[in-house]
Amino acid sequence: MEKTDHTFHYPHPFELESGATLPGFQLRYTVLGRLNEDRSNVIWICHALTGNSDFTDWWRQLVQPGGPFDPEHYLIICANVLGGCYGSTGPLSLNPKTGEPYFHDFPELTNRDVVRAFSLLRQELRFKKIHTLLGGSLGGQHVLSWAILEPDLFERISPIACNAFHSPWGIAFNEAQRMAIAADSSWPERDARAGYQGLQAARAIGILSYRNYEAFGKTQAEKTHPVTRDFRAASYQRYQGEKLSKRFNAITYWRLTRMMDSHQVGFGYESVEAGLQQIKAQTLVIGVASDLLFPVTEQEFLVRNIEHAALQIIHSLYGHDGFLIEFDQLQGIIKKFLNTSVVGAVA
Ligand code: COA
């Protein structure tokens, strides 16, 4: 079965939480599988910070025949976030008012803005129920934000390696990355390549938070000793920076990291706990034991405060990146979740 890519156009003004209004927007989305007769088999995936809508690129193992979301049985969908650079409206899109790209003028977004945009796409597709909503990292923040906004929509959710509000530690990492971008003298230019070198440094900083001491020790140790220059770890950092800068841009990166920083499910409620208590879906929270960026204590907090929630922990050398690497564990955990009617029994 082949995946297909589509674009949803929303032609009306869309007010953002910041008070700014987009004159309209579009969302790029990828679909795999078929809707069943009673439209009850929709799996909605939310992608991470620099991800795209093509989940077959980065989560193929979960959506292949025999995986937890077999396209023979499910319709699987993922949309590029509003503010993104993979076909959805974002900083590089044309501002219809000026006829030029928005660039740095693109307004601030929140995770709630993103999931309200997703919901307009969902309504267009006439999905009245979502079987399972899942995503990791920024995608996990979207899962929580959407399940709070529309609690009756989801039967099951799985927020992975994420949190109820972004931590001071996470915000500090993101600010350090934005400082690297701002230190690039090209950053103020109204150009898609503004902050290009800075983005490379930002990615290298980000990678430190996605991995840890042990992961670098295992994957980037020198093969011959003694080595006093041309370190593998150094070349890895440069490679990761260059690779991202070829497929992303600094203005979008800036906006999306700010969006992550502003994540706070307690917004509009009495407390963070009260926000989480809105969630009605059967919930499987997944954490990675070695995650430095979203430590397991954050997922334990989610489980304590979401009514029907259980926790599963992935064991990985790779820290936060574990949710993009440990497919055997993820597949097993998610399959079990889908076959369990009462959450609590999966733990
Ligand atoms: N010097 C130069 N390049 C090196 C290297 C070195 N010493 N060691 C590895 N590489 C290259 C690899 O060849 C590979 O290249 P490719 O991507 O072009 O194939 C790349 O670095 C990644 O290798 P590695 O990190 O070992 O792969 P992995 O399978 O362990 O991890 C990813 C895969 C996708 C998780 C990881 O590469 C990545 O991109 N992490 C960031 C993901 C992310 O954005 N997380 C944030 C979520 S908010």
- 136 has which bridge partners? 160
Type of residue at 37 = E
Ligand 1 centre to CA of 58 (Å) is 12
d(CA 82, CA 183): 26
Please tell me if the CB atom of residue 141 comes closer than 6 angstroms to any atom of ligand 1. Answer: no
Ligand 1 centre to CA of 240 (Å) is 7
What pLDDT is attached to residue 342?
A: 52
Please tell me if the CB atom of residue 204 comes closer than 6 angstroms to any atom of ligand 1. Answer: no
**Per-residue model confidence as pLDDT tens digits over 154-185:** 999 999 999 999 999 999 999 999 999 999 99
Please tell me if the CB atom of residue 325 comes closer than 6 angstroms to any atom of ligand 1. Answer: yes
What pLDDT is attached to residue 229?
A: 87
**Per-residue model confidence as pLDDT tens digits over 315-326:** 999 999 999 999
Ligand 1 atom at minimum distance from 244 CA: 39
3-state secondary structure of 31: strand
Going by C-beta distance under 8 Å and a sequence separation of 6 or more, which residues neighbour residue 151? 278, 279, 280, 281
For 90: left if phi > 0, alpha if psi spans -120 to 50, otherwise beta; the answer is beta
Ligand 1 atom at minimum distance from 206 CA: 46
d(CA 347, CA 336): 10
Look at ligand 1, atom 45, and give the residue with the nearest C-alpha: 321
* 23 within 8 A of 13, measured Cβ to Cβ: yes
- Residue to mutate, 246, 324, 327, ligand 1, most ligand atoms under 8 Å from C-beta: 324
Residue ranges of the chain with per-residue pLDDT less than 50:
345-347
